[in-house]
Homo-oligomer: A and B are copies of this chain.
Amino acid sequence: MLTIGELSRATGVKIPTIRYYEQMGLMAAAERSGGNQRRYEPQDRDRLSFIKHARDLGFTIEAIRELLELSAHPERPCADADTIAIRQLQIVRNKIAKLRPLEKELERIAACCHGDSIRDCYVLQSLANHDMCVSEH
């Protein structure tokens, strides 16, 4: 039996976040002590570690909810779980693909300013005029 603080230290998930996950239905409502404090079993720690790892990899709460539901049916095919992972990979690749042109433009913008007054500032001129940009973004 773990207190919420012990569970927090064991998983690296902050206490308010654990309560939030309970509210969101990712974690079952915990058993309570006589004084109404949450008490956890070891398997709760495993579940929370799973959630944390998935969150660290960027899965949304909703995706994690689906993954956890799938886990509850070991006999079923795993295609749905694989699909969720592939979708998440695409999401991450998409984010990178959107950030790279920004990086390029910002490199140019930050490197090219040799003006000394606001009037001549290449940064401000670039922001005012997308035509100076090399890429769409």
Contacts and interface: CB of A to CB of B under 8 A. Distances in A.
A interface, over-half SS: helix
Contact of A92 (B92, B106, B129): B106
A24 interface: no
The copy count of this chain in the complex is: 2
Contacts of A67: 123-124, 127
Interface in A54-99: 54, 56-58, 67, 70-71, 73-78, 81-82, 84-86, 88-89, 92-93, 95-96, 99
Q: What is the size category of the interface that chain A forms with chain B? A: 35 or more
Interface of A: 46, 49-50, 53-54, 56-58, 67, 70-71, 73-78, 81-82, 84-86, 88-89, 92-93, 95-96, 99-100, 102-103, 105-107, 109-110, 113, 115-121, 123-124, 127-130, 137
